[in-house]
Protein backbone atom coordinates (compact mmCIF):
# COMPACT_ATOMS: atom_id res chain seq x y z
CA UNK A 1 0.00 0.00 0.00
CA UNK A 2 1.09 3.52 -0.75
CA UNK A 3 0.86 6.78 1.17
CA UNK A 4 -0.20 9.79 -0.89
CA UNK A 5 0.85 13.25 0.28
CA UNK A 6 -1.09 16.29 -0.84
CA UNK A 7 -1.18 19.95 0.02
CA UNK A 8 -4.62 21.55 -0.31
CA UNK A 9 -4.40 25.33 -0.22
CA UNK A 10 -7.85 26.79 0.42
CA UNK A 11 -7.68 30.07 -1.45
CA UNK A 12 -9.82 32.56 -3.35
CA UNK A 13 -9.60 32.57 -7.12
CA UNK A 14 -11.37 34.74 -9.70
CA UNK A 15 -13.55 32.60 -11.95
CA UNK A 16 -15.79 33.74 -14.81
CA UNK A 17 -19.18 32.09 -15.22
CA UNK A 18 -22.45 33.41 -16.71
CA UNK A 19 -20.59 36.48 -18.07
CA UNK A 20 -19.37 37.61 -14.64
CA UNK A 21 -16.22 37.19 -12.61
CA UNK A 22 -16.56 36.01 -9.02
CA UNK A 23 -13.87 35.49 -6.47
CA UNK A 24 -14.72 31.95 -5.37
CA UNK A 25 -13.09 29.77 -2.74
CA UNK A 26 -11.09 26.91 -4.27
CA UNK A 27 -8.51 24.30 -3.41
CA UNK A 28 -5.21 25.04 -5.15
CA UNK A 29 -7.00 27.50 -7.46
CA UNK A 30 -8.93 24.67 -9.13
CA UNK A 31 -12.67 24.50 -9.67
CA UNK A 32 -13.77 21.73 -9.27
CA UNK A 33 -10.94 20.89 -6.91
CA UNK A 34 -8.18 18.32 -7.44
CA UNK A 35 -9.07 14.65 -7.94
CA UNK A 36 -7.66 12.23 -5.38
CA UNK A 37 -6.81 8.82 -6.89
CA UNK A 38 -5.81 5.99 -4.58
CA UNK A 39 -6.06 2.24 -4.18
CA UNK A 40 -7.91 0.37 -1.50
CA UNK A 41 -5.52 0.02 1.45
CA UNK A 42 -3.60 3.21 0.64
CA UNK A 43 -3.22 6.09 3.08
CA UNK A 44 -3.78 9.77 2.47
CA UNK A 45 -2.00 12.62 4.19
CA UNK A 46 -3.61 15.89 3.16
CA UNK A 47 -2.28 19.09 4.63
CA UNK A 48 -4.99 21.71 4.38
CA UNK A 49 -3.71 25.28 4.54
CA UNK A 50 -6.37 27.96 4.82
CA UNK A 51 -5.41 31.24 3.20
CA UNK A 52 -9.05 32.27 2.56
CA UNK A 53 -11.10 34.69 4.66
CA UNK A 54 -13.50 32.01 5.90
CA UNK A 55 -13.23 29.23 8.44
CA UNK A 56 -13.07 25.90 6.66
CA UNK A 57 -12.99 22.16 7.23
CA UNK A 58 -12.94 19.35 4.68
CA UNK A 59 -14.94 16.11 4.67
CA UNK A 60 -14.04 12.92 2.78
CA UNK A 61 -17.59 11.94 1.96
CA UNK A 62 -18.21 8.20 2.33
CA UNK A 63 -14.80 7.29 3.75
CA UNK A 64 -15.57 5.26 6.84
CA UNK A 65 -12.76 6.67 8.99
CA UNK A 66 -12.81 3.60 11.24
CA UNK A 67 -11.84 4.66 14.79
CA UNK A 68 -10.56 7.87 13.25
CA UNK A 69 -13.35 10.47 13.56
CA UNK A 70 -10.72 13.25 13.77
CA UNK A 71 -10.24 12.99 10.02
CA UNK A 72 -13.96 13.12 9.15
CA UNK A 73 -14.22 16.88 8.95
CA UNK A 74 -17.68 18.35 9.73
CA UNK A 75 -17.05 21.55 11.65
CA UNK A 76 -18.17 21.53 15.28
CA UNK A 77 -18.90 17.80 15.06
CA UNK A 78 -15.49 16.12 14.79
CA UNK A 79 -13.25 19.17 14.80
CA UNK A 80 -13.29 22.92 15.04
CA UNK A 81 -12.74 24.83 11.84
CA UNK A 82 -9.39 25.65 10.33
CA UNK A 83 -9.17 29.41 10.82
CA UNK A 84 -7.85 31.80 8.18
CA UNK A 85 -4.07 31.43 8.33
CA UNK A 86 -4.32 28.02 10.00
CA UNK A 87 -3.74 24.49 8.79
CA UNK A 88 -4.64 20.92 9.66
CA UNK A 89 -3.42 17.63 8.25
CA UNK A 90 -6.03 14.95 7.58
CA UNK A 91 -4.53 11.45 7.83
CA UNK A 92 -6.56 8.38 6.97
CA UNK A 93 -6.38 4.95 5.43
CA UNK A 94 -8.83 3.44 2.94
CA UNK A 95 -10.15 0.26 4.54
CA UNK A 96 -12.10 -2.13 2.33
CA UNK A 97 -13.67 0.48 0.12
CA UNK A 98 -13.43 0.87 -3.65
CA UNK A 99 -15.22 2.95 -6.23
CA UNK A 100 -16.19 6.59 -6.48
CA UNK A 101 -16.44 8.95 -3.54
CA UNK A 102 -15.73 12.65 -3.22
CA UNK A 103 -14.55 15.32 -0.82
CA UNK A 104 -16.04 18.69 0.02
CA UNK A 105 -15.91 21.58 2.46
CA UNK A 106 -18.06 20.94 5.54
CA UNK A 107 -18.34 24.49 6.82
CA UNK A 108 -21.34 26.63 6.04
CA UNK A 109 -21.93 26.75 2.28
CA UNK A 110 -18.30 26.68 1.16
CA UNK A 111 -18.90 23.36 -0.48
CA UNK A 112 -20.69 25.25 -3.26
CA UNK A 113 -17.25 25.59 -4.86
CA UNK A 114 -14.94 23.51 -2.66
CA UNK A 115 -15.30 19.90 -3.83
CA UNK A 116 -13.57 17.23 -5.88
CA UNK A 117 -13.60 13.52 -6.78
CA UNK A 118 -12.03 10.80 -4.63
CA UNK A 119 -11.44 7.68 -6.69
CA UNK A 120 -10.51 4.36 -5.13
CA UNK A 121 -9.13 1.60 -7.33
CA UNK A 122 -8.99 -1.98 -6.08
CA UNK A 123 -5.81 -3.29 -4.49
CA UNK A 124 -3.44 -4.76 -7.03
CA UNK A 125 -3.68 -7.30 -8.57
CA UNK A 126 -7.47 -7.32 -8.20
CA UNK A 127 -9.75 -5.21 -10.36
CA UNK A 128 -13.31 -3.92 -10.48
CA UNK A 129 -15.90 -6.72 -10.86
CA UNK A 130 -16.93 -5.33 -14.25
CA UNK A 131 -14.82 -5.08 -17.37
CA UNK A 132 -12.88 -1.89 -16.65
CA UNK A 133 -12.77 0.22 -19.80
CA UNK A 134 -9.56 2.02 -20.78
CA UNK A 135 -11.34 5.33 -20.59
CA UNK A 136 -13.02 6.85 -17.56
CA UNK A 137 -14.17 10.32 -16.55
CA UNK A 138 -15.55 12.03 -13.47
CA UNK A 139 -18.79 13.92 -13.98
CA UNK A 140 -19.26 16.29 -11.06
CA UNK A 141 -22.72 17.84 -11.06
CA UNK A 142 -22.96 21.15 -9.26
CA UNK A 143 -24.78 24.44 -8.83
CA UNK A 144 -23.44 27.88 -9.65
CA UNK A 145 -24.50 30.96 -7.71
CA UNK A 146 -24.20 34.36 -9.27
CA UNK A 147 -23.62 35.70 -5.77
CA UNK A 148 -21.39 34.78 -2.90
CA UNK A 149 -22.91 31.53 -1.58
CA UNK A 150 -22.62 32.69 2.02
CA UNK A 151 -24.98 35.58 1.31
CA UNK A 152 -27.25 33.08 -0.46
CA UNK A 153 -27.16 31.00 2.71
CA UNK A 154 -28.16 33.97 4.82
CA UNK A 155 -31.03 34.73 2.50
CA UNK A 156 -32.23 31.12 2.39
CA UNK A 157 -31.97 30.80 6.16
CA UNK A 158 -34.34 33.66 6.71
CA UNK A 159 -36.67 33.72 3.72
CA UNK A 160 -36.87 30.05 2.85
CA UNK A 161 -35.92 30.94 -0.72
CA UNK A 162 -33.90 27.78 -1.01
CA UNK A 163 -35.22 25.72 -3.90
CA UNK A 164 -33.70 26.76 -7.18
CA UNK A 165 -31.96 29.91 -6.01
CA UNK A 166 -28.80 28.93 -7.86
CA UNK A 167 -28.29 30.48 -11.29
CA UNK A 168 -27.07 27.42 -13.16
CA UNK A 169 -26.43 23.72 -12.78
CA UNK A 170 -22.97 22.66 -13.80
CA UNK A 171 -20.98 19.68 -15.09
CA UNK A 172 -17.37 19.79 -13.91
CA UNK A 173 -17.89 23.41 -12.97
CA UNK A 174 -19.31 24.51 -16.36
CA UNK A 175 -22.96 25.41 -17.01
CA UNK A 176 -22.85 24.38 -20.67
CA UNK A 177 -24.46 25.47 -23.93
CA UNK A 178 -27.87 26.56 -22.62
CA UNK A 179 -26.59 29.33 -20.35
CA UNK A 180 -25.33 32.78 -21.27
CA UNK A 181 -21.60 33.23 -21.99
CA UNK A 182 -20.99 29.52 -21.35
CA UNK A 183 -20.89 27.73 -24.72
CA UNK A 184 -17.15 28.02 -25.34
CA UNK A 185 -16.25 26.28 -22.11
CA UNK A 186 -18.80 23.47 -22.32
CA UNK A 187 -17.13 20.28 -21.10
CA UNK A 188 -16.42 17.67 -23.78
CA UNK A 189 -15.83 13.95 -23.36
CA UNK A 190 -14.17 12.36 -26.38
CA UNK A 191 -14.78 8.69 -27.16
CA UNK A 192 -13.79 6.36 -29.99
CA UNK A 193 -16.68 4.80 -31.81
CA UNK A 194 -17.44 1.44 -30.24
CA UNK A 195 -15.51 1.94 -27.04
CA UNK A 196 -16.93 1.91 -23.51
CA UNK A 197 -16.33 4.68 -20.97
CA UNK A 198 -16.83 4.56 -17.20
CA UNK A 199 -18.57 7.71 -15.98
CA UNK A 200 -18.18 8.45 -12.28
CA UNK A 201 -21.17 10.68 -11.64
CA UNK A 202 -21.10 12.68 -8.42
CA UNK A 203 -23.87 14.99 -7.23
CA UNK A 204 -21.99 17.80 -5.55
CA UNK A 205 -24.85 20.29 -5.97
CA UNK A 206 -25.65 22.26 -2.86
CA UNK A 207 -29.41 21.93 -2.81
CA UNK A 208 -30.66 19.92 -5.73
CA UNK A 209 -31.39 16.32 -6.53
CA UNK A 210 -30.81 15.81 -10.23
CA UNK A 211 -31.85 13.68 -13.17
CA UNK A 212 -29.00 12.84 -15.56
CA UNK A 213 -29.08 11.26 -18.99
CA UNK A 214 -27.10 11.04 -22.23
CA UNK A 215 -28.83 11.46 -25.60
CA UNK A 216 -29.44 8.15 -27.44
CA UNK A 217 -27.24 6.18 -25.02
CA UNK A 218 -28.01 3.60 -22.39
CA UNK A 219 -26.26 3.76 -19.06
CA UNK A 220 -25.31 0.55 -17.25
CA UNK A 221 -25.19 1.20 -13.51
CA UNK A 222 -22.37 -0.74 -11.80
CA UNK A 223 -21.90 1.02 -8.45
CA UNK A 224 -23.39 3.65 -6.14
CA UNK A 225 -21.63 5.37 -3.22
CA UNK A 226 -18.53 3.18 -3.74
CA UNK A 227 -20.53 -0.05 -3.42
CA UNK A 228 -21.09 -2.36 -6.38
CA UNK A 229 -24.55 -3.01 -7.75
CA UNK A 230 -26.05 -5.73 -9.90
CA UNK A 231 -25.57 -4.08 -13.29
CA UNK A 232 -28.73 -2.77 -14.95
CA UNK A 233 -29.33 -0.45 -17.85
CA UNK A 234 -31.35 2.74 -17.79
CA UNK A 235 -31.90 5.88 -19.85
CA UNK A 236 -31.89 8.17 -16.87
CA UNK A 237 -30.46 8.21 -13.37
CA UNK A 238 -31.65 10.19 -10.35
CA UNK A 239 -28.89 11.28 -8.02
CA UNK A 240 -29.18 13.19 -4.74
CA UNK A 241 -26.56 15.56 -3.32
CA UNK A 242 -23.86 13.45 -1.70
CA UNK A 243 -24.50 10.37 -3.83
CA UNK A 244 -22.29 8.89 -6.54
CA UNK A 245 -23.31 6.60 -9.40
CA UNK A 246 -20.85 4.76 -11.66
CA UNK A 247 -22.16 3.90 -15.11
CA UNK A 248 -20.72 2.27 -18.20
CA UNK A 249 -21.61 3.88 -21.50
CA UNK A 250 -20.81 2.25 -24.82
CA UNK A 251 -20.39 4.57 -27.79
CA UNK A 252 -22.50 2.41 -30.07
CA UNK A 253 -24.53 5.10 -31.87
CA UNK A 254 -24.00 7.02 -35.12
CA UNK A 255 -20.65 8.83 -34.82
CA UNK A 256 -21.86 12.28 -33.82
CA UNK A 257 -22.10 14.60 -30.84
CA UNK A 258 -24.56 13.93 -28.03
CA UNK A 259 -25.49 15.99 -25.01
CA UNK A 260 -25.27 14.62 -21.53
CA UNK A 261 -27.57 16.72 -19.39
CA UNK A 262 -28.79 17.20 -15.84
CA UNK A 263 -31.77 19.04 -14.40
CA UNK A 264 -33.63 19.17 -11.11
CA UNK A 265 -35.67 16.44 -9.51
CA UNK A 266 -37.46 18.38 -6.79
CA UNK A 267 -41.14 18.07 -5.94
CA UNK A 268 -40.90 21.30 -3.92
CA UNK A 269 -40.26 23.36 -7.04
CA UNK A 270 -43.40 24.85 -8.41
CA UNK A 271 -44.83 24.80 -11.90
CA UNK A 272 -42.89 27.96 -12.74
CA UNK A 273 -39.61 26.01 -12.72
CA UNK A 274 -37.82 26.92 -15.94
CA UNK A 275 -36.24 23.48 -16.51
CA UNK A 276 -32.80 25.04 -16.38
CA UNK A 277 -30.42 22.32 -17.62
CA UNK A 278 -26.68 21.82 -17.62
CA UNK A 279 -25.00 20.02 -20.49
CA UNK A 280 -21.69 18.55 -21.54
CA UNK A 281 -20.96 16.91 -24.89
CA UNK A 282 -20.11 13.31 -25.65
CA UNK A 283 -18.03 13.54 -28.84
CA UNK A 284 -17.28 10.62 -31.12
CA UNK A 285 -13.74 11.34 -32.25
CA UNK A 286 -14.09 9.92 -35.76
CA UNK A 287 -16.90 12.30 -36.67
CA UNK A 288 -14.79 15.42 -36.21
CA UNK A 289 -12.49 14.64 -39.11
CA UNK A 290 -15.19 14.62 -41.75
CA UNK A 291 -16.84 17.87 -40.95
CA UNK A 292 -15.68 21.45 -40.87
CA UNK A 293 -18.45 22.58 -38.57
CA UNK A 294 -18.73 20.55 -35.40
CA UNK A 295 -22.04 18.68 -35.58
CA UNK A 296 -24.93 19.96 -33.52
CA UNK A 297 -25.29 17.68 -30.51
CA UNK A 298 -28.48 15.68 -30.09
CA UNK A 299 -30.34 16.74 -26.94
CA UNK A 300 -30.86 14.29 -24.08
CA UNK A 301 -34.39 13.52 -22.87
CA UNK A 302 -34.92 14.38 -19.22
CA UNK A 303 -37.97 13.74 -17.02
CA UNK A 304 -40.02 16.59 -15.55
CA UNK A 305 -38.71 18.11 -12.32
CA UNK A 306 -41.55 16.47 -10.36
CA UNK A 307 -41.41 13.01 -11.95
CA UNK A 308 -41.32 10.91 -8.80
CA UNK A 309 -42.32 7.68 -10.62
CA UNK A 310 -39.15 7.89 -12.76
CA UNK A 311 -36.98 8.64 -9.71
CA UNK A 312 -38.54 5.71 -7.85
CA UNK A 313 -38.20 3.34 -10.80
CA UNK A 314 -34.49 4.11 -10.88
CA UNK A 315 -33.75 3.74 -7.17
CA UNK A 316 -35.87 0.61 -6.78
CA UNK A 317 -33.67 -1.23 -9.29
CA UNK A 318 -30.55 -0.93 -7.14
CA UNK A 319 -29.34 -4.23 -5.66
CA UNK A 320 -26.08 -5.51 -4.27
CA UNK A 321 -24.43 -7.97 -6.68
CA UNK A 322 -24.56 -10.87 -4.20
CA UNK A 323 -26.16 -11.85 -0.96
CA UNK A 324 -25.06 -9.47 1.80
CA UNK A 325 -24.90 -9.74 5.56
CA UNK A 326 -27.89 -7.66 6.67
CA UNK A 327 -28.40 -7.57 10.46
CA UNK A 328 -31.63 -9.40 11.32
CA UNK A 329 -31.81 -9.09 15.11
CA UNK A 330 -32.36 -5.38 15.63
CA UNK A 331 -31.16 -3.90 18.94
CA UNK A 332 -32.14 -0.31 18.15
CA UNK A 333 -35.25 0.30 16.11
CA UNK A 334 -35.54 4.00 15.40
CA UNK A 335 -38.19 6.03 13.62
CA UNK A 336 -36.92 9.42 12.46
CA UNK A 337 -39.26 11.94 10.94
CA UNK A 338 -37.48 14.27 8.54
CA UNK A 339 -38.97 17.44 7.24
CA UNK A 340 -39.37 21.13 7.41
CA UNK A 341 -41.16 23.17 10.01
CA UNK A 342 -41.99 26.69 10.98
CA UNK A 343 -41.02 28.29 14.25
CA UNK A 344 -43.24 31.05 15.65
CA UNK A 345 -41.41 34.31 16.03
CA UNK A 346 -41.71 36.54 19.06
CA UNK A 347 -41.11 39.48 16.74
CA UNK A 348 -42.72 38.59 13.41
CA UNK A 349 -41.31 41.75 11.85
CA UNK A 350 -37.72 40.56 12.33
CA UNK A 351 -35.84 39.91 9.06
CA UNK A 352 -35.38 36.29 10.17
CA UNK A 353 -39.11 35.73 10.19
CA UNK A 354 -40.08 35.73 6.54
CA UNK A 355 -41.87 32.38 6.59
CA UNK A 356 -45.67 32.20 6.20
CA UNK A 357 -47.55 34.33 8.80
CA UNK A 358 -44.38 35.79 10.26
CA UNK A 359 -42.82 32.43 11.10
CA UNK A 360 -39.25 31.33 10.69
CA UNK A 361 -38.20 28.37 8.53
CA UNK A 362 -36.72 25.37 10.29
CA UNK A 363 -36.06 21.71 9.60
CA UNK A 364 -35.85 18.85 12.03
CA UNK A 365 -35.51 15.17 12.80
CA UNK A 366 -38.04 13.95 15.37
CA UNK A 367 -39.00 17.54 15.98
CA UNK A 368 -35.48 18.53 17.03
CA UNK A 369 -33.90 21.24 14.93
CA UNK A 370 -30.16 20.68 15.24
CA UNK A 371 -27.95 23.48 16.49
CA UNK A 372 -24.20 23.15 15.89
CA UNK A 373 -22.16 23.90 19.01
CA UNK A 374 -19.86 26.92 18.87
CA UNK A 375 -17.37 26.49 21.67
CA UNK A 376 -16.15 22.95 20.99
CA UNK A 377 -16.65 19.99 18.69
CA UNK A 378 -19.04 17.26 19.79
CA UNK A 379 -16.36 14.61 19.25
CA UNK A 380 -13.82 16.41 21.44
CA UNK A 381 -16.41 16.93 24.17
CA UNK A 382 -17.48 13.28 23.90
CA UNK A 383 -13.90 11.98 23.99
CA UNK A 384 -12.72 14.23 26.78
CA UNK A 385 -15.95 14.20 28.80
CA UNK A 386 -16.46 17.96 28.53
CA UNK A 387 -19.99 18.78 29.76
CA UNK A 388 -22.35 21.37 28.32
CA UNK A 389 -21.54 20.94 24.63
CA UNK A 390 -24.34 18.49 23.72
CA UNK A 391 -27.08 16.46 25.39
CA UNK A 392 -27.90 12.78 24.82
CA UNK A 393 -31.69 13.03 24.89
CA UNK A 394 -32.35 12.79 21.16
CA UNK A 395 -35.71 10.98 20.92
CA UNK A 396 -35.57 7.56 19.16
CA UNK A 397 -39.15 7.94 17.92
CA UNK A 398 -41.15 11.08 17.17
CA UNK A 399 -42.66 12.64 20.29
CA UNK A 400 -45.99 12.97 18.49
CA UNK A 401 -47.23 10.58 15.83
CA UNK A 402 -49.83 11.41 13.24
CA UNK A 403 -50.67 10.91 9.59
CA UNK A 404 -47.54 12.32 7.95
CA UNK A 405 -49.11 12.33 4.53
CA UNK A 406 -52.37 13.99 5.44
CA UNK A 407 -53.07 17.66 5.28
CA UNK A 408 -50.86 18.27 8.29
CA UNK A 409 -51.80 21.39 10.15
CA UNK A 410 -48.84 23.72 10.32
CA UNK A 411 -49.60 24.45 13.93
CA UNK A 412 -49.19 20.80 14.81
CA UNK A 413 -45.46 20.63 14.54
CA UNK A 414 -43.10 23.32 15.77
CA UNK A 415 -39.60 21.98 16.18
CA UNK A 416 -37.60 22.75 19.28
CA UNK A 417 -33.91 23.54 18.93
CA UNK A 418 -31.06 21.60 20.48
CA UNK A 419 -27.64 19.95 20.13
CA UNK A 420 -28.87 16.45 20.80
CA UNK A 421 -27.11 13.16 20.26
CA UNK A 422 -28.39 9.59 20.43
CA UNK A 423 -26.24 6.93 22.09
CA UNK A 424 -25.70 3.70 20.19
CA UNK A 425 -23.97 0.81 21.86
CA UNK A 426 -20.87 -0.19 19.95
CA UNK A 427 -21.58 -3.38 17.99
CA UNK A 428 -25.36 -3.10 18.18
CA UNK A 429 -27.63 -3.66 15.19
CA UNK A 430 -29.51 -0.55 14.17
CA UNK A 431 -32.56 0.03 11.99
CA UNK A 432 -33.71 3.53 11.12
CA UNK A 433 -36.93 4.26 9.30
CA UNK A 434 -36.76 7.77 7.84
CA UNK A 435 -40.24 9.21 7.36
CA UNK A 436 -40.91 12.39 5.38
CA UNK A 437 -43.42 14.54 7.26
CA UNK A 438 -44.72 16.54 4.27
CA UNK A 439 -44.86 19.60 6.51
CA UNK A 440 -44.44 22.84 4.51
CA UNK A 441 -43.40 20.79 1.44
CA UNK A 442 -43.38 17.17 0.36
CA UNK A 443 -39.84 16.61 -0.73
CA UNK A 444 -37.12 14.01 -1.12
CA UNK A 445 -34.48 14.39 1.60
CA UNK A 446 -31.10 12.81 0.74
CA UNK A 447 -29.94 11.65 4.18
CA UNK A 448 -26.23 11.07 4.72
CA UNK A 449 -24.68 9.17 7.62
CA UNK A 450 -21.04 9.91 8.42
CA UNK A 451 -18.66 7.11 9.44
CA UNK A 452 -20.86 4.35 8.04
CA UNK A 453 -22.49 2.81 5.07
CA UNK A 454 -25.78 1.02 5.42
CA UNK A 455 -28.16 -1.42 3.77
CA UNK A 456 -31.25 0.14 2.21
CA UNK A 457 -33.77 -2.58 3.06
CA UNK A 458 -37.06 -0.99 2.05
CA UNK A 459 -38.98 2.09 1.06
CA UNK A 460 -42.50 3.13 0.25
CA UNK A 461 -44.98 5.96 0.04
CA UNK A 462 -47.35 7.11 2.74
CA UNK A 463 -46.84 6.31 6.39
CA UNK A 464 -44.47 3.53 7.39
CA UNK A 465 -46.49 0.67 8.79
CA UNK A 466 -44.45 -1.30 11.36
CA UNK A 467 -46.98 -4.16 11.26
CA UNK A 468 -46.83 -4.87 7.54
CA UNK A 469 -43.91 -3.11 5.82
CA UNK A 470 -40.98 -5.03 7.39
CA UNK A 471 -42.30 -8.26 5.87
CA UNK A 472 -41.42 -6.82 2.48
CA UNK A 473 -37.88 -5.74 3.37
CA UNK A 474 -35.08 -6.96 1.13
CA UNK A 475 -32.74 -8.77 3.53
CA UNK A 476 -31.00 -10.64 0.70
CA UNK A 477 -29.31 -8.20 -1.68
CA UNK A 478 -30.19 -4.63 -0.68
CA UNK A 479 -27.89 -1.88 -1.99
CA UNK A 480 -25.20 -0.45 0.27
CA UNK A 481 -25.04 3.35 0.42
CA UNK A 482 -23.92 6.28 2.53
CA UNK A 483 -26.66 8.67 1.36
CA UNK A 484 -30.29 7.72 0.74
CA UNK A 485 -33.27 9.72 -0.39
CA UNK A 486 -36.36 9.70 1.82
CA UNK A 487 -39.06 9.59 -0.87
CA UNK A 488 -41.37 12.61 -0.97
CA UNK A 489 -44.35 11.76 1.21
CA UNK A 490 -42.83 8.36 1.98
CA UNK A 491 -40.25 6.47 4.00
CA UNK A 492 -37.05 4.50 3.62
CA UNK A 493 -35.57 1.91 6.00
CA UNK A 494 -31.85 1.35 6.55
CA UNK A 495 -29.85 -1.06 8.67
CA UNK A 496 -26.26 -1.11 9.86
CA UNK A 497 -24.02 -2.41 12.63
CA UNK A 498 -22.73 0.33 14.94
CA UNK A 499 -19.13 -0.81 14.50
CA UNK A 500 -17.39 2.57 14.38
CA UNK A 501 -17.03 4.36 17.71
CA UNK A 502 -17.19 8.14 17.74
CA UNK A 503 -19.55 11.04 17.11
CA UNK A 504 -21.11 10.77 13.67
CA UNK A 505 -23.35 13.29 12.01
CA UNK A 506 -26.48 12.25 10.13
CA UNK A 507 -28.05 14.97 8.03
CA UNK A 508 -29.94 15.99 4.95
CA UNK A 509 -27.40 16.70 2.21
CA UNK A 510 -29.50 19.59 0.91
CA UNK A 511 -27.47 22.35 2.54
CA UNK A 512 -30.39 24.72 3.07
CA UNK A 513 -32.12 21.97 5.08
CA UNK A 514 -28.93 21.29 7.01
CA UNK A 515 -28.67 24.99 7.82
CA UNK A 516 -32.28 24.91 9.03
CA UNK A 517 -31.41 22.05 11.40
CA UNK A 518 -32.10 18.77 9.55
CA UNK A 519 -29.35 16.89 11.36
CA UNK A 520 -28.54 14.85 14.46
CA UNK A 521 -25.51 13.06 15.89
CA UNK A 522 -24.94 9.42 16.82
CA UNK A 523 -22.64 8.82 19.77
CA UNK A 524 -21.24 5.33 19.36
CA UNK A 525 -19.43 4.05 22.38
CA UNK A 526 -17.11 1.16 22.94
CA UNK A 527 -18.05 -0.54 26.19
CA UNK A 528 -18.84 1.37 29.33
CA UNK A 529 -18.60 4.89 27.99
CA UNK A 530 -14.91 4.83 27.26
CA UNK A 531 -13.75 5.53 23.81
CA UNK A 532 -10.27 4.14 24.22
CA UNK A 533 -10.31 2.29 20.95
CA UNK A 534 -10.60 5.54 19.02
CA UNK A 535 -7.26 6.92 17.85
CA UNK A 536 -6.06 9.83 19.99
CA UNK A 537 -6.77 13.29 18.56
CA UNK A 538 -3.90 14.53 16.39
CA UNK A 539 -1.80 17.29 17.98
CA UNK A 540 -2.65 19.77 15.22
CA UNK A 541 -6.45 19.35 15.56
CA UNK A 542 -7.61 22.98 15.23
CA UNK A 543 -8.42 24.62 18.56
CA UNK A 544 -11.91 26.04 18.99
CU1 LIG B 1 -21.10 15.03 2.17
CU2 LIG B 1 -21.92 15.78 6.09
O3 LIG B 1 -21.51 15.44 4.13
Q: Going from the N-terminus, what domains does the chain have, and what CATH number goes with each?
A: 1-128 (2.60.40.420), 130-318 (2.60.40.420), 332-525 (2.60.40.420)
Query: Distance from the CA of 250 to the center of ligand 1, in angstroms?
Result: 32
When pLDDT is averaged across residues 513-542 and rounded to a whole number, the result is 89
CB of 440 within 6 A of ligand 1: the answer is no
Q: What pLDDT was estimated at residue 99?
A: 98
Nearest atom within ligand 1 for CA of residue 102: 1
With cut-offs at 50, 70 and 90, classify the pLDDT of residue 399: confident
Residues 30-88: tens digit of each pLDDT? 999 999 999 999 999 999 999 999 999 999 999 999 999 999 999 999 999 999 999 99
Atom of ligand 1 nearest to the CA of 507: 2
Residue-wise pLDDT tens digits, 104-138: 999 988 999 999 999 999 999 999 999 999 999 99
Q: How far is the CA of 7 from the centre of ligand 1 (A)?
A: 21
Ligand 1 neighbour 61 (Cβ under 6 A): yes
Confidence of residue 409 (pLDDT cuts 50, 70, 90): low
Provide mean pLDDT across the span 404-419: 79
DSSP of 284-342, one letter per residue?
A: EGGGTTT-SSPPPPBPPP---TT-HHHHHHHHTT---SS------S-SEEEEEEEEEEE
Contacts of 264 (CB under 8 A, 6+ apart): 164, 169, 208, 209, 210, 211, 273, 276, 305
C-alpha span between 313 and 451 (Å, rounded): 28
Q: Which helix (H) or strand (E) holds 151?
A: helix 149-159
Q: How confident is the model at residue 331 (pLDDT cuts 50, 70, 90)?
A: very high
Lowest mean pLDDT among 214-223, 347-356, 423-432, 530-539: 347-356
pLDDT digits (tens, 9 = 90+) for 190-217: 999 999 999 999 999 999 999 999 999 9
Confidence of residue 290 (pLDDT cuts 50, 70, 90): low
The ipTM of this complex is 0.99
Residue 291: the pLDDT is: 61
Segment 405-418 shows an average pLDDT of 77
481 lines ligand 1 (CB under 6 A): no
Cα dihedral across residues 236, 238, 242, 246: positive or negative: negative
111 CB within 6 A, ligand 1: no
**pLDDT bracket for residue 406 (50, 70, 90):** confident
Q: Of 256-265, 279-288, 439-448, give the range with the top mean pLDDT.
A: 256-265
Amino acid sequence: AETHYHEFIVQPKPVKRLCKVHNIITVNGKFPGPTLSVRNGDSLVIKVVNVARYNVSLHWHGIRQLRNPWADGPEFVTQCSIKPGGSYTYRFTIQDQEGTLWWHAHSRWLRATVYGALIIYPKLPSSYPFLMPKREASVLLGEWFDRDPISVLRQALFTGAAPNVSDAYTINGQPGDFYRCSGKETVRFAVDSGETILLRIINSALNQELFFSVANHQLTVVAVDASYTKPFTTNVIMIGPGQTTDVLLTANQQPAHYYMAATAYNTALNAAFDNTTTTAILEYKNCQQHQQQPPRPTMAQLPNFNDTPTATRFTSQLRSPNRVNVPTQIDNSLLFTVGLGLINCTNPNSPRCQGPNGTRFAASINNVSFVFPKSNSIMQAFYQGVPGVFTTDFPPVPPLQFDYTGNVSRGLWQPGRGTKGYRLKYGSNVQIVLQDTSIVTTEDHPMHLHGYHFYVVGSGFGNFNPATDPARFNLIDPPVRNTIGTPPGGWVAIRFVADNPGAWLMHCHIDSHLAWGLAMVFLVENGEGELQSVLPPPPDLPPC
